[in-house]
Homo-oligomer: A and B are copies of this chain.
Amino acid sequence: MPATVLISEVGPRDGLQSVARTLPLAHKLAWVTALHAAGLREIEVGSFVPAARLPQLADTAAVVDHARTLPGLTVVALVPNLQGARAAIAAGVHKLTVPVSASAAHSLANVRKTREQMVDELRRIAALRADLAPQVGLEVGLSTAFGCTLQGLVPEDEVIALAEQVVAAGADEVGLSDTTGMADPAQVRRLFRRLQAAVGRHAGAAHLHNTRGLGLANCLAAFDVGVTSFDSSQAGLGGCPYAPGASGNVVTEDLVFLFERMGVHTGVDLHRLVAARAVLQRGLPGEPLHGMVPEAGLPPGFVYADGRQPDADPLRAATAGLA
């Protein structure tokens, strides 16, 4: 069993794009600071997309600027095209993440390009990265890899072929995303094993949703076959505005608990994570926040994977006076 996993927090991007209101910049910076303080070491802080399309994320460059000051943090931004990649590199991100849809229908709806056009665009982004900033990471998440609400079934052979194409086009890593919450554990194991067989060390993160309650079971399934990097979102905020019925990322709070309770180190402190949740809640009053661990608290006798004792206060006390 691997002793450590990386939890990559996607709430500031995937979460906030799914909330109609815009979290004011000052709140966003405070939230990212609090997430970092909780021990998260990779945060997807926003997208470089036209402000008219996602006004909630129009201030991403300012968030990147702040996030870069947080020690040890890998600052990630989503870029759907070359123009976005150029802006993200200029802003100083450490890693670009490019969404490539495995479903033909979702590709057109999400980025207004065919899958082949997206692979071409990725090749241009990789060339730009090589020119301007070879130290910047370049990862691809294959959206709708486990099924698509627009198209239904997404053939596994197409997913794997696309993964090979994006690695050939220059991506460092390619992960699999259950954008619409359709995956099951058997499928997660099967597809990640095929991905590893096809692209080896380029196999990347699991980005799983909790739409039908299977989020943590699917994370466990991915972990069982050797995946060590997991996207999740504080309070389960998230979805995809261009995939009907997509809802609910895996909840970071619950995912951290799952791993730490199993003895797998995440580096995340649950009391501080709940304090970050309170910062989010203050910025988006009334927004429904998901997650079972923040409600139930830690069980008696809980210790972190590294043997550390949790704070003695109940978990919910971390939010006292902040709601």
Interface contact A147-B221, CB-CB below 8 Å:
no
Interface contact B292-A211, CB-CB below 8 Å:
yes
The answer to whether the Cβ of A220 comes within 8 Å of any Cβ in the partner chain is yes
The answer to whether the Cβ of A296 comes within 8 Å of any Cβ in the partner chain is yes
Q: In the complex, what residue of chain B is closest to A255 when comparing beta carbons?
A: B213
User: How many copies of the polypeptide does the oligomer hold?
Assistant: 2
* CB-contact partner of A217 in B258, B293, B300, B301, under 8 A: B258
Interface contact B216-A184, CB-CB below 8 Å:
no
Contacts of A258 in B (CB 8 A): 184-185, 213-214, 217
> What mask results when residues 295 to 323 of chain A are scored 1 for a CB within 8 Å of chain B, else 0?
01101110000000000000000000000
The answer to whether the Cβ of A181 comes within 8 Å of any Cβ in the partner chain is yes
Contacts of A181 in B (CB 8 A): 296, 299
The answer to whether the Cβ of A51 comes within 8 Å of any Cβ in the partner chain is no
The answer to whether the Cβ of A247 comes within 8 Å of any Cβ in the partner chain is yes
* CB-contact partner of A257 in B152, B212, B220, B247, under 8 A: B212
> What mask results when residues 145 to 171 of chain A are scored 1 for a CB within 8 Å of chain B, else 0?
001110011000000000000000000
Shortest Cβ distance from A290 into chain B, in angstroms?
A: 9
Interface contact A300-B149, CB-CB below 8 Å:
yes
* CB-contact partner of A254 in B214, B251, B300, under 8 A: B214
Say which size band chain A's interface belongs to.
Answer: 35 or more
Contacts of A301 in B (CB 8 A): 147, 152-153
Cα distance, A181 to B298, chains bound together (Å) = 10
Cα distance, A181 to B296, chains bound together (Å) = 9
Contacts of A292 in B (CB 8 A): 210-213
The answer to whether the Cβ of A20 comes within 8 Å of any Cβ in the partner chain is no
Interface contact B245-A296, CB-CB below 8 Å:
yes
Contacts of A213 in B (CB 8 A): 216, 251, 254, 257-258, 291-293
Cα distance, A261 to B185, chains bound together (Å) = 9
Shortest Cβ distance from A8 into chain B, in angstroms?
A: 19
The answer to whether the Cβ of A262 comes within 8 Å of any Cβ in the partner chain is yes
The answer to whether the Cβ of A52 comes within 8 Å of any Cβ in the partner chain is no
The answer to whether the Cβ of A1 comes within 8 Å of any Cβ in the partner chain is yes
The answer to whether the Cβ of A182 comes within 8 Å of any Cβ in the partner chain is yes
Interface contact A262-B186, CB-CB below 8 Å:
yes
Cα distance, A148 to B296, chains bound together (Å) = 14
> Can you list 5 A-B pairs, Cβ within 8 angstroms, ordered by A?
A153-B301, A181-B296, A184-B258, A210-B292, A213-B254
> Which A residues are closer than 8 A to B by beta carbons?
1, 147-149, 152-153, 180-182, 184-187, 210-214, 216-217, 219-221, 224, 245, 247, 251, 254, 257-258, 261-263, 291-293, 296-297, 299-301
